Structure 1
């Protein structure tokens, strides 16, 4: 009979994020996490278990977020302290609203587990998911069988995401999100051209492009592009670009960047211009965001 090995979550994460594949007596694991865009991140997990493994939480609960998990191979389970189970089965995907609950992860012995998780901030759910977020109602869905297209897209991301450019990574993540959602109600871009435009914006490469130039990237007339863009984002093109620019600035400030550094990173000619735009958008000066830092 195979014994069960228990490991603290902090130790599990420390082993799984080392360069290369970490090996232990219970098996091997490799896990990578990347931010795709503000409020959207991607985590890949590849694990081979020789013993039953229980990962015990010992860290503060993570922030609430929508999670779309694609399981390619292997069985595993996440069980919250309230008894809710999130099952992962081969060739399936599931949706759930992570509400900050702690839980135990179970990895049975003899498994080769490959998983991808897209994690989405709740405030962006309506933008990315549209009415689908209301249909899911915050519950963890039962595993849904992957389509061939979804499995192929997930496989490519699993093996290549660490080497993709930010623009390509964002585009591939949006395409995976689109494939995993029901067709009705999704605000995820339906055409590769619009996906490319959104990826340009989130990567900060559209700040100096005109609406006409973005329309050409999307392969649409300016009028049709504006209509399609508003249908998918519920905002105008320039309004959305400015929103994403400010969100990137806020993220950099929270990471400890100085105001002047953020201003030049975002393409402002003078920090005062950035500070004025930031104040208009958020209602407070960027200096106030950087707690304990001198701007």
Structure 2
């Protein structure tokens, strides 16, 4: 698909169990946004592995850029049947926290695969259902093996670590007007800078600073749409000067804060 302006698509994740989603961004850039303000980006030529549970979200596509993606989606129960409950649990990890509608597990360059080549070919629709499933399951097997190799190299986060990350996330969202650098967060939450960076690297795939920026930009967009002035929004999301917010907002969304329409707050 190709959109001539930024395009947003609502999506619904149904079901009472977790789903493993492997998204292959073959071309173009997009992102997923959940109602809680968290975002996950899909970069060209990268495979992003994530875990979802029931909920709503929004897929946002860049303007004037061809978008081609392939997604493998498998429920936890199906995955357990394919590879066994123990291996399935090892791949999916701990249950999603109360503030997680999804969790990014990994992001890596797309490796050459005959099965991926066949699935992205237009001729795949002419194949019978069995052939399509063989390629899909073979590609899933390849990705799971690569994911297990990556996971074995990382120190596993414990349930306590994930609870701590939930607390840090809530603290950040509640204190966007404060100078939330790494030192501030470590002092406030009682964690070392090394652990702080590891939490965000392993769960979100980005640094605490990048995650904070995404929270601030999302909140700024909500306030602007509600009618707040740029100067008011700047202070509410931690910028001392409105010009700094304008620069960051424009880099992030491709348009200025003033272009966001909303009813003026009195």
Q: Which bracket does the TM-score occupy, shorter chain normalised? A: 0.3 to 0.5
Between 1 and 2, higher relative CO (CA 8 Å, sep ≥ 6) is seen in: 2
TM-score normalised per structure 1: 0.41
TM (norm. structure 2) is: 0.46
Instruction: Say which structure is richer in strand.
Output: 1
From the two aligned structures, give the one with the greater helix fraction: 2
